Amino acid sequence: MYSFNELHEIIEKEIDGLEFSAPPEGLFEPMKYILGIGGKRLRPILVLLGANLYKDDLSKVCLPAIGIEIFHNFTLLHDDVMDNAPIRRNKKTVHEKWNSNVAILSGDAMSIKAYQYIGSCEDKYLRDVLTVFNQTALEVCEGQQFDMEFEDRNDVEIEEYLNMIRLKTAVLLGGSLKMGAIMGDASSKDAELLYHFGVNLGMAFQLQDDLLDVFGDEAVFGKKIGGDILSNKKTFLLINALETASGDVEKELKSWITTKSFNPEEKIKAVGTIYEQLNVREYSQNKIENYFALCLEYLDKVDVDAEKKKELYLLVKGLVDRSV
């Protein structure tokens, strides 16, 4: 069995070896750029982990795994255009370094490249792998659309938000594991269990990001705290606060959301205090723990030895241990 770190090294080596050098350079250079600025590589590693539960030889799984990473970065590239985001992983976004037209077209090319790499899996798995990927890719787009629509709504409900993050974030983790399991010759039952493990892991991960953005340690979280508050982003915390606040607390919260002129540090502190008063932090933490517990329930049922599932258990533990 490979360790998580060993699989990360395999993925990085494969990405370093990608050949995106054909003319026109203006199409391929942004693709090399976005893939080259790092990232957790969690999704392609999950593909390999899913396969490694059942087979030791991953040589024919690596390229489809890279296809998942290309697809993920394609979605980030287009997301950055839609959000007008200037920075990605402490580097200029593609549309900032080049322009939006370049970002859109290079993103389109990346989606095609993703299919090329995913389609390189062995013929006996191709139909099932593409079925999972196609459904997952469509759901990611649905999630992004919901996310954009939520920006203009003040009546987003908790269940709507949970469905949005399931589509936008969680299904790609589940789909990655399921594709890997298929290519590892897992039973259909195990492949489905791993899918649900990944989806619940993705839900916990995104809700934890929401929480860390307000209450996390910047040194551990890796980015400045309070960005979601400053942008009035519809997160699990804000939606829950809006649903539960009343009286003067409700007035204060809505005042911070609607005011155009404010001191950033003051707003972050004030809204964070409101979250504490409304027990939003505790409620969010409990929800995260519930999703992590569901992860482990599904993983426990996967019909392979516990030792082979060790890296997946360690992955859950590592995410649980992120500082809040």
pLDDT values of the chain reduced to their tens digit, one per residue, 324 residues: 899 999 999 999 999 988 877 789 899 999 999 999 888 899 999 999 999 999 999 999 999 999 999 999 999 999 999 888 888 888 899 999 999 999 999 999 999 999 999 999 999 999 999 999 999 999 999 999 999 999 888 899 999 999 999 999 999 999 999 999 999 999 999 999 999 999 999 999 999 999 999 998 766 665 678 989 998 999 999 999 999 999 999 999 999 999 999 999 999 999 999 999 999 999 999 999 999 999 999 999 999 999 999 999 999 999 888 754
pLDDT at site 324: 47
CATH number of 191-323: 1.10.600.10
The CATH class of 1-186 is mainly alpha
CA distances from 30 to 98, 150, 241, 318 (A): 8, 29, 40, 32
Under a CB-based contact definition with an 8 Å cutoff, are residues 189 and 61 in contact?
no
pLDDT at site 38: 82
pLDDT at site 221: 62
Nearest to 220 by CA among 321, 323, 318: 323
Report pTM. Answer: 0.94
pLDDT at site 224: 74
Answer positive or negative: Cα dihedral of 104, 106, 111, 112.
positive
CA triplet 232, 316, 281: central angle to 5 degrees?
A: 35
Burial class of residue 188 in the structure, from the number of CB atoms within 10 Å of its CB (0-12 exposed, 13-18 middle, 19+ buried):
exposed
Would the CATH topology of 1-186 be identical to that of 191-323? yes
Which run of H or E residues covers position 287? helix 280-301
Taking the C-alpha atoms of residue 37 and residue 41, their distance in angstroms, rounded to an integer, is 11
CA distances from 181 to 20, 68, 86 (A): 29, 14, 37
What residues does each domain of the chain span? 1-186, 191-323
